[in-house]
Amino acid sequence: MAIEIHFLIPYVEAELKKKNISLDLSKGVQELGAGRYSKTYLVESSDGKLVIHLVGSHNPDIQFKQAEKRFEISQFLKKHPKVPTAEMITYGEVEGTVFTVQEYIAGKIWAEKKANLKHLQHLAKILAYLHQINLKGSGYLQFKEGKPEGTHEDWYLFLKPWVMSSLKNIYEYVQIKKLTDSISEKKYLYLKNKLELFFEKYKDYFMGVKGKLLHGDLALGNIILGGKKVNALIDLDFSCSGDPAWEFALRDHLHEKCLDYYFAELKKIGLELDEDQFRFRIKLYVPLLRIIITNSLKSGRHKNIKKDLYIFEKMIDELL
């Protein structure tokens, strides 16, 4: 970390003052957690409890842009209260450390608390509403005058390059780290060709998809439960515009337990869809998301790369 919290407090206070919020440091600052390049704290304020998140890395510009995006999507979702999330209040950057300040949401993350029927039904209702927010374009979000839209004209034009580049990045990383047992040049070219065949075969499933707002990363740790409801969906760093079926891929807690309730909620708001095709699209997305995740985690999971690629190849073969 470039800067610890006690150095940042004056800068945080200055930004909050612009929002007419003052910190109450009489009870101290509680550390909630720490990662390799990040730390999270809980503080009291005139506006209730706040969470301060610090990220210090060699790419502060990238971290700042991500914070900016989280702020924009937070402000946009204030217009959609049926999608509960923690409001991001402000953000900034000081000497290589990016800070964000957001409201504190009480409750426990799904990973720490067993979800019950009420939680599943409420989550389905939230997702059904979220996925009816129409957006222009597809892909990761960019904001124009406060309105989000996808970076690509079409879902297919976003999805295929993303997956193909993920496979290429894995191969290049393996070469640099000399982990050639994980994937040889011959195997890389073979898998690349498999992906080309896959996208050609299922192109019609991805082209022309009308962009809907997706959370993008509904892992167990990003769903906060409280009482009999979902208190908030958090960490919208990967929010995007695309196919709602993408939201359920590799998320067994959603696919196996929540999907029927999701379909029921869509019917309540008068939307009929082909449930079998929706489930099939989830199946199509599973190997694609697996290779994307393998790419994003490759630096910390060397031993898993070969296994992940084997599973990926098997899934693609079954679909071809």
CATH number of residue 62's parent domain: 3.30.200.20
Domain assignment of residue 116, given as a range: 108-154+202-319
Q: What is the C-alpha separation between 98 and 96, in angstroms, rounded?
A: 7
Q: How many CA atoms lie within 13 A of 115 on its CB side?
A: 23
Output the six-digit token pair for 18.
Answer: 């612009």
**Within a domain: residue 88?**
yes
* 55: phi then psi, degrees, rounded to nearest 5: -130, 120
Q: Please state which of the ranges 6-20, 104-118, 123-137, 181-195 shows the lowest mean pLDDT.
A: 104-118
Spatial contact of 94 and 11, defined as CB atoms under 8 Å apart: yes
**Within a domain: residue 181?**
no
Closest CA relative to residue 60, chosen from 22, 88, 87, 99: 99
Residues 16 and 88 in one domain: yes
**Length reported for the chain:** 320
Dump strand ranges (E) for the chain: 23-24, 30-34, 38-45, 50-56, 88-94, 97-103, 108-109, 138-144, 147-152, 212-214, 223-226, 229-233, 240-242
The pLDDT value recorded for residue 285 is: 97
Mean pLDDT in residue range 218-242 = 92
Higher pLDDT, 257 or 125: 125
Residues 70 and 122 in one domain: no
Q: Which of 87, 103, 119 is the last residue of a domain?
A: 103
Spatial contact of 22 and 13, defined as CB atoms under 8 Å apart: yes
Q: Which of 103, 129, 145 is the last residue of a domain?
A: 103
Residues 125 and 221 in one domain: yes
Residues 228 and 312 in one domain: yes
Output the six-digit token pair for 7.
Answer: 């150095």
Residue-averaged pLDDT of the chain: 92
**Within a domain: residue 45?**
yes
The pLDDT value recorded for residue 1 is: 54
With tokens 């896959």, the residue in question is 198
The pLDDT value recorded for residue 2 is: 56
What lies within 8 Å, CB to CB, of 314 at 6+ separation is: none
- To the question of pTM greater than 0.85 for the whole model, the response is yes
User: Could you give the 3-state DSSP secondary structure of residue 267?
Assistant: helix
The amino acid at residue 308 is: D
Q: What is the pLDDT of residues 43-97, one digit of tens each?
A: 999 999 999 999 987 788 989 999 999 999 999 999 999 999 999 999 999 989 9
The pLDDT value recorded for residue 51 is: 96
Residues 233 and 97 in one domain: no
SS3 per residue for 268-279:
HCCCCCCHHHHH
pLDDT tier for residue 289 given thresholds of 50, 70 and 90: very high
Q: What is the C-alpha separation between 76 and 152, in angstroms, rounded?
A: 20
Q: What is the pLDDT of residues 80-90, one digit of tens each?
A: 999 999 999 99
Question: How do beta strands 108-109 and 223-226 pair?
Answer: antiparallel
Residue 133 has pLDDT above 80, yes or no: yes
Residues 206 and 118 in one domain: yes
Q: How many CA atoms lie within 13 A of 18 on its CB side?
A: 10
**Within a domain: residue 297?**
yes
The pLDDT value recorded for residue 256 is: 78
Neighbours of 229 (CB within 10 A): 16
Q: How many CA atoms lie within 13 A of 92 on its CB side?
A: 16
* CATH label of the domain that carries residue 252: 3.90.1200.10
Residue 113 has pLDDT above 80, yes or no: no
Closest CA relative to residue 154, chosen from 138, 140, 169: 138
The amino acid at residue 217 is: D
Residues 112 and 85 in one domain: no
**Within a domain: residue 163?**
no
User: Could you give the 3-state DSSP secondary structure of residue 45?
Assistant: strand
Residues 24 and 79 in one domain: yes
Q: Please state which of the ranges 176-190, 231-245, 271-285 shows the lowest mean pLDDT.
A: 176-190
Residues 50 and 123 in one domain: no
The pLDDT value recorded for residue 37 is: 82
Residues 96 and 119 in one domain: no
**Within a domain: residue 50?**
yes
Residues 85 and 129 in one domain: no
State the total domains in the chain.
2
